[in-house]
Amino acid sequence: MSVRVRVPEGLSARVPAEQRGPGLDRDDVRLLVSRGTEVTHHVFAELPRLLRAGDLLVVNTSPTLAAAVDGRTGHARVVVHFSTRGDDGRWAVELREPDGRGTTRARAGTPAGTEVGLPGGARLVLEEPLSGRGERLWWARVSGAEVLRVLREHGRPIRYSYTERDQPLSVYQTVFALPSPDGAGSAEMPSAARPFTARLVAELVSRGVQFAPITLHTGVASAEAHEPPYPERFAVPAASARLINAAKPGAGRVIAVGTTAVRAVESATGPDGVVRAAEGWTDLVVTPERGVRVVDGLLTGLHEPEASHLLMLEAVAGRAAVDRAYEEALRGLYLWHEFGDVHLILPEETPHSERCDGNSW
């Protein structure tokens, strides 16, 4: 991305929209809309008028876990961020240290074999780095208690220093979140869907917009580390695959709600552009070189200039469009991060489609 400016600290959303003033709700955030390099400014409550009958929103149903747990290694206090549960029962974790302000900072120099005492008598042992990229995330084994029980009883949502205070877990759940049969979930909220309210969903449905649920459990994405995404668990049900395939030949556009939804649906899409039911692990990284096979548009938050998510945005919209949108977001003082404003990327309209569509945009 050619926009290389650092996002000013004052543009970090420190509290959720509904806590910024009386009478506000989750959908009281701003909405930047891109169609190619054309950018317009809206509020999120206008979304039903920006979409049209036949459009399909792909939404992530993964619930957010209370994935941050206090622990001790020797005499040192640490905070364990539980990221992803592996098929062998181990968990990918990140060890961080308290920063004295209620949040955490990166912790360096943690070797294999490090033991961490957890609440309730549980014990965690680091076994091996998750990948050869570095030693931020480790595969760890927990004994003495079941991890999901530790999270339920002693965990809290992961938060970073740009936020003002701890929030209840309900603040980090989207309207689409559903309990997983095995208790799994996301270490960090699939935040692009956070501005949706039940009222707004009902209005979208009444206007003929459809929803295709998928699941992708997100791992941790430390504020200091802008890395390509690690493998994550996902599922695209057969019913959602049918909805997506049916939308493509008609006038409907497939719009992913969040980069997690892009990763899941593109992982289930073959080279022929057909989406098939799929589940398991995906290591797909969507880049401009790889491109997208089925997604036409994307609703997403605003990402740091170094974030790997921006490569996915470029795959959907092109680099010029992303650069233009971020210039406008900075100029317009949009708010960043999970409680911030959102960006809707729509395909450019052709003169023919504008004539066929009676909606006024």
Residue-wise pLDDT for 114-170, tens only, equals 999 999 999 999 999 987 666 789 999 999 999 999 999 999 999 988 888 899 999
Strand partners, 70: 79
pLDDT surpassing 90 at residue 200: yes
pLDDT at 131: 78
pLDDT at 307: 64
pLDDT surpassing 70 at residue 306: no
* Residue ranges in the chain assigned as alpha helix (H): 47-50, 147-154, 198-206, 238-247, 259-267, 309-317, 319-331, 351-356
pLDDT confidence bin for 59, thresholds 50/70/90: very high
pLDDT at 360: 34
pLDDT at 1: 44
Mean pLDDT, the chain, whole residue set: 90
- Which range, of 52-66, 186-200, 217-231, averages the lowest pLDDT? 217-231
Q: Are 147 and 155 in contact (CB under 8 A)?
A: no
pLDDT confidence bin for 225, thresholds 50/70/90: low
Cα–Cα distance between 275 and 168 in angstroms, integer? 36
Cα–Cα distance between 356 and 315 in angstroms, integer? 27
